[in-house]
Amino acid sequence: MKLNLLRPRRLRRTPLIRDMVRETSLSVKDLIYPIFVVPGEKIKEEIPSMPNCYHLSVDQAVLLAEKIFQLGIPAVEIFGLPEYKDETGSSAWNPSSPVQRAMKAIKEAVPDLVIVGDVCLCQYTSHGHCGQLCGQEVDNDATLPLLAKVALSQAESGADMIAPSDMMDGRVSVIRGALDKNGFQNVSVMSYSVKYASAYYGPFRDAADSAPHFGDRRGYQMDPANRREAMKEVELDMDEGADIIMVKPALAYLDIVRQVRDRIDRPVAVYNVSGEYAMVKAAAQKGWIDEKRIVMETLLSMKRAGADIIISYHSIDAARWIREEEGRL
């Protein structure tokens, strides 16, 4: 063997040497935690397919938001189950729906915590699709003003960031326009720009009672086979004024995350979705994997792929583990 061989193992010898040459890191500040709010009071019910995630009434959501803030997690994203559903999903822009009430209450209790509002109609429509129907199809342009109403009512309730997840064409510019016209120039838009029609949303749809009652979402969400189309979606959302570009799901689409990161100069977010979470939790409960190591490795892979922001149901556990690790040093 050559004597002057360049030996990569020299830089793997001790924990501190490894610390010195580590290329990627995961910080508590990278994380967002999703919260599901429901009507009622003093409700905290575990979501069966998402262990340790809960349906929370507004009072309980506030307590959790306080805990999240104390852990150093900068943001929560709020999802809701409404009191009623109808054809257009009108409870989505009702100022007294759980989401809007939760935003107001959290803003009051922890004003510095960043509040992200998921904007979509599927939790609120009687048919479970993400927009207004025309026959059996979702009518793109009829849906846009409804989404703008949802965004506006969330901004009025204290949302700092609006995250449209519906995949209608042109929604970012319509939402941006509505926010600006009503004095919310400083509310940002984190667009679910690249959102695939994915089986990984299964547990979420149980949690949010948002599964479509007929058909599927392939008419508006993206085909998992497509990469060029992802770049087209990103470009359109950039033009329409999205401040942050999201790719969703995360783990099966890290190639897309890397390509988006290399192409644009705006922050990139990923959504580590419910199915990704459920798989890890199920295997961990069976004792088949080391949950902490799997979660940290998975979240790190998202950072390495180029994500700046990670929305994850693991955020609270991950924040604790990161802090423990830091305390050790």
* Contact pattern for Zn ion over residues 96 through 135, marking x by CB under 5 A: ------------------------x-x-------x-----
What's the min distance (Å) between Cβ of 273 and ligand PBG? 4
The amino acid occupying position 261 is: R
Q: Is 195 a catalytic residue?
A: yes
Closest CA to 125 of 104, 142, 101, 103: 142
Cβ proximity to Zn ion: between 105 and 122 the closer is 122
- 254-263 vs 291-305: helix axis angle to the nearest 10? 30
For the CB of residue 80, give the shortest distance to Zn ion in the complex, in Å: 12
Residue 113 tokens, joined: 């915590």
Question: If DSSP codes are grouped into helix, strand and coil, which group holds residue 118?
Answer: strand
- Asked if 42 is an active-site residue, the reply is no
- Which positions ≥6 away from 328 have C-beta within 8 Å? none
DSSP string across 25-75: ---GGGEEEEEEE-SSSS-EEEETTEEEEEEE-HHHHHHHHHHHHHHT--E
Please classify residue 4 by burial: count the beta carbons closer than 10 Å to its beta carbon, then call 0-12 exposed, 13-18 middle and 19+ buried: exposed
Catalytic residue among 107, 195, 281, 303: 195
- Shortest gap between Cβ of 147 and ligand PBG (angstroms)? 11
- 118 contacts which partner out of ligand PBG, Zn ion, none, CB within 5 to 8 A by kind? ligand PBG
CB of 118: closest distance to Zn ion in angstroms?
A: 8
**Between residue 110 and residue 129, which ones bind ligand PBG under the rule CB under 6 A?**
118, 120, 122
Which tokens go with 225? 């086979």
Told to check if 316 binds Zn ion by CB under 5 A, we report no
Judged by CB under 6 A, the residue of 69, 124, 184, 204 near ligand PBG is: 204
Least Å from the CB of residue 52 to ligand PBG: 14
Q: Which is nearer to Zn ion, 38 or 120 (CB)?
A: 120
181 vs 218, beta carbon nearer ligand PBG = 218
Number of other residues whose CB lies within 10 A of the CB of residue 135: 6
Contacts of 256 (CB under 8 A, 6+ apart): 194, 227, 230, 247
Q: Which stretch binds ligand PBG (CB under 6 A): 108-116, 200-208, 232-240, 280-288?
A: 200-208
**Residue of 85, 104, 149, 248 with catalytic role:** 248
Here the tokens at position 32 are 């967002």
The reply on whether position 207 binds Zn ion by CB under 5 A is no
Determine if the peptide bond prior to 249 is cis (ω within 30°).
Answer: yes
Could you list the residues that contact Zn ion (CB under 5 A)? Answer: 120, 122, 130
Instruction: Give the footprint of ligand PBG on this chain (CB under 6 A).
Output: 118, 120, 122, 130, 165, 201, 204-205, 210, 273-274
Catalytic machinery residues = 195, 248
